[in-house]
């Protein structure tokens, strides 16, 4: 835990917070904090700063918080991702939050196993858990918006432009030309398909919506490998 994330209803008007449960256990057993220790802290959706431990026992931790700094700047990146294997999804959610993705669209594609769409990993509770893990790791407080789209064509043709807005659009596929340098300004969208790539129909539809082909070599990579690599390429422009 690189950042102690506080929920808005946990922070009192006087700047104190009281924590129990798993975070209390982590403070006591993993971090080994005691009264007088200071931690890096942040308010979910708000500012970051420090939290001084005022009291700590088996039932709760009492903290005095000074949250006076803006969270990390946003790189201006959205991700359209074919729904991956559930085990990979957990790591990808954390990576997306860590790297400052604003929107993550999980999209059903032709090569996505239908069973993935019914996985418990796609429940709001599980998605939020892994996003929070990523924020704590990166010392950020801003949750990405996660949208599940179970029908490819209606999303791309009817809803995608309004959701994502203007900006550079890149379509990742094994063996395509690349890498090239993204523009240093404006928003950017990456569309990453299943591990076997997008089928021709999907590529045609996405390219008609302004996506340009981009590849990172001829190797077919696992989704959990290519996502952080591609996000690093995108976020490194600023």
CATH for 33: 2.40.240.20
Q: What angle do CA 88, 112, 124 make, to 5 degrees?
A: 55
List the beta bridge partners of residue 41. Answer: 4, 49
Q: Are residues 41 and 153 in the same domain?
A: no
Alpha-carbon gap, residue 59 to 63, rounded angstroms: 14
Q: What angle do CA 169, 170, 175 make, to 5 degrees?
A: 165
| pLDDT at residue number 133 | 95
- Our count of domains for the chain comes to 2
**Dihedral sign (CA 220, 146, 132, 47):** positive
Q: Are residues 95 and 184 in the same domain?
A: yes
Which domain range does residue 18 map to? 4-69
Contact 127, 81 (CB under 8 A): no
Exposed, middle or buried, 122 (CB in 10 Å: 0-12/13-18/19+)?
A: middle
Question: 3-state secondary structure string, 124-155?
Answer: HHHHHHHHHHHHHHHCCCCCCEEEEECCHHHH
Q: Are residues 41 and 111 in the same domain?
A: no
Q: Are residues 55 and 86 in the same domain?
A: no
Q: Are residues 116 and 210 in the same domain?
A: yes
Question: 3-state secondary structure string, 170-231?
Answer: EEECCCCCCCCCCCCCCCEEEEECCCCCCCHHHHHHHHHCCCEEECCCCCCCCHHHHHHHHH
Contact 110, 152 (CB under 8 A): yes
Q: Are residues 86 and 46 in the same domain?
A: no
Alpha-carbon gap, residue 45 to 139, rounded angstroms: 12
Residue written as token pair 């917070």: 17
| pLDDT at residue number 225 | 87
| Alpha helices (H) along 2-144 | 21-25, 86-98, 124-138
| pLDDT at residue number 179 | 57
Q: What is the largest CA-CA distance in the chain?
A: 61
| pLDDT at residue number 235 | 80
- Domain closes at, from 18, 38, 69: 69
Q: Are residues 31 and 104 in the same domain?
A: no
pLDDT tens sequence for the chain (238 residues): 789 999 999 999 999 999 999 999 999 999 999 999 999 999 999 999 999 999 999 999 999 999 999 998 999 999 999 999 999 999 999 999 999 999 999 999 999 999 999 999 999 999 999 999 999 999 999 999 999 999 999 999 999 999 998 889 999 887 666 556 666 678 999 999 998 889 999 999 999 999 998 877 777 778 888 898 888 888 876 5
Contact 34, 53 (CB under 8 A): yes
């Amino acid at each position: 835990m690189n950042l102690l994330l506080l929920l808005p209803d946990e922070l009192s008007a006087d700047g104190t917070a009281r924590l129990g449960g798993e975070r209390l256990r982590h403070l006591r057993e993993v971090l080994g904090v005691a009264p007088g220790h200071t931690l890096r802290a942040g308010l979910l959706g708000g500012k970051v700063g420090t939290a001084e431990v005022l009291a700590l026992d088996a039932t709760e931790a009492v903290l005095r918080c000074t949250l006076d700094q803006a969270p990390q700047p946003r790189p201006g990146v959205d991700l359209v991702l074919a729904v991956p294997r559930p085990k990979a999804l957990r790591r990808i959610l954390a990576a997306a939050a860590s790297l400052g993705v604003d929107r993550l669209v999980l999209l059903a594609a032709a090569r996505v196993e239908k069973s993935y769409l019914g996985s418990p990993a796609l429940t709001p509770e599980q998605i939020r858990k892994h996003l929070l893990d990523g924020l704590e790791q990166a010392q950020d407080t801003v949750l990405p918006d996660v949208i599940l789209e179970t029908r490819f064509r209606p999303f791309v043709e009817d809803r995608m432009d309004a959701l994502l807005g203007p900006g550079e659009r890149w379509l990742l596929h094994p063996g395509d030309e690349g890498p090239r340098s993204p523009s240093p300004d404006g928003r950017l969208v990456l569309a990453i398909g299943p591990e076997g790539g997008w089928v021709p129909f999907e590529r045609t539809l996405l390219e008609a919506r302004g996506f340009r082909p981009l590849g990172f070599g001829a190797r077919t990579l696992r989704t959990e490998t290519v996502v952080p690599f591609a996000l690093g390429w995108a976020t490194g422009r600023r």
